[in-house]
Amino acid sequence: MMTSSESSSPLSYSPTPSPELIKINSTHKSYHIEVGLAILFLCLTIPSLLFLTLIYHRETTSISSTSTKTTTTDSSFLKSSFQKNFYRKSLLNYSHARCMDDSIASYYIRLANNNNNSYWLIYFDGGWFCYSKESCNLRRLYSPNLMTSNNLNEKKSFIGIFSSLKQYNIIYVPYCSSDLWSGSSNKTHSHGSDIFHAIFDDLKIDKNFQKAKQIIFTGFSAGGLGLLLNLPNLLQQFPTHIDLRVIIDSGWFIDYPGSINGISKINEAMVYWNTQIPSSCQLKPQYKCFLGSEAIRLFPSRVSILVIQSLFDQTQLHLDKLNPHSNDFSLKLIENLRQSSNRISIFAPACSIHGFLFRSLWPQFDIEQRTLASVLNVWLKRKKRTHVQLIDHHFDSSFCPQRDDDEI
């Protein structure tokens, strides 16, 4: 648990002398009953794949370069509105970095507002997956934008944490491979692993990135799973003077006992994707390389890890076909997080939601009055071996802050 004295630990690598990243207006919090949504959600009878690709991919962006972008300017909890655009860069020079429709994968970059190259955040997006000709055809039909880079604007602005961290240089990587960032197959057009590595090959030759002093690798959902798989090997390549940090946002899955559908099924999908298992992961069966509790043991010990995970995560409940009213899953998840508690920082609210940081209200999620923004501030200032751990035990009285423009 955190104590208030911890919020003042001054560390040399903290972004600013007074690194309060976000100012929060806590007077108005509108809550919706997420649990109700989750029930509705589980009662729907649409084939689960279509459903999931539609539900779990949300627009994080307020589209287009011409938009006047009122969505972030009315957020009273941001210190000031920060309008700087992200610019798209194509991975032209990397022949394997292709989306499922063979378009060239790309990423977005926005440099820090003070032109300081020290602080970087690299975000890998999520959006479920597909694992067979049939499921990928359905995905093409219902979520075409998850398979191509063709419809991406050259300039974009992003809400959520992307508009909060002004002093950070931010890389935002859209997800167009449908393979948990793991595949390398010309046959099935799964190139997540190729795209992932092309990003870092491209950054390595970027003069600004070469000056990085702190890098926060962040992944949402499928993006978080991609980090768990790919980072242990990759991080070994970074010089030791760089402060390396990892945030897994809603990508901490557990092997729920008795689940017919759960994450272990990904083992079969991995054949379709031709998943590239890094040499650092020798776990068998291989899907375990995606399991948080297993993967974090492979991370270099100097790397700090923050896990942000709802105890009633909508995606995992759906994947395992679990009753959202049963607490059993959540208790198992808590047990699983606790087993890793010597290694990770934890923010695990009980309100049912999937994904935090991309939402405009991300700073307001709280556990016992400690907000996610304050936890992130503390975590960023922390020494590497001390952890911030907050787990919500109020299962019945926990609500997520919500605003319509955060949802699909």
Using CB under 6 A, which residues numbered 1 to 20 contact ligand NAG? 16
Find the binder of ligand NAG among 186, 236, 323, 339 (CB under 6 A): 186
Q: Are 391 and 343 in contact (CB under 8 A)?
A: no
> CB of 11: closest distance to ligand NAG in angstroms?
11
Q: Is 93 in the site for ligand NAG (CB under 6 A)?
A: yes
The pairing of strands 400-401 and 345-348 is: unpaired
Q: Which of 7, 75, 116, 327 binds ligand NAG (CB under 6 A)?
A: 116
Closest to 279 measured CA to CA, from 307, 247, 237: 237
150 near ligand NAG, rule: CB under 6 A? no
DSSP string, 391-405: E---GGG--EE--GG
Q: Which stretch binds ligand NAG (CB under 6 A): 49-57, 89-97, 306-314, 362-370?
A: 89-97
Tell me whether residue 11 or residue 46 sits nearer to ligand NAG (CB atom).
Answer: 11
Q: How far apart are CA 45 and CA 75, in angstroms?
A: 36
Residue (98 or 370) nearer to ligand NAG, CB: 98
If binding means CB under 6 A, how many residues of this protein chain bind ligand NAG? 9
Among 7, 48, 85, 90, binds ligand NAG (CB under 6 A): 90
Does residue 320 contact residue 262 with C-beta atoms inside 8 Å?
yes
Contact 93, 103 (CB under 8 A): no
Element (H, E) at 372: helix 372-381
At its nearest, how many Å lie between ligand NAG and the CB of residue 187?
A: 8
Please, what is the end-to-end C-alpha distance for the chain in angstroms? 34
For 199, counting Cβ atoms within 10 Å of its Cβ (0-12 exposed, 13-18 middle, 19+ buried), the class is: buried
Annotate each residue in 20-39 with x if it binds ligand NAG (CB under 6 A) or - if it does not, as one string.
Answer: --------------------
Interface residue with ligand NAG among 118, 169, 178, 310 (CB under 6 A) is 118
Question: Site residues (CB under 6 A) for ligand NAG?
Answer: 16, 90, 92-93, 95-96, 116, 118, 186
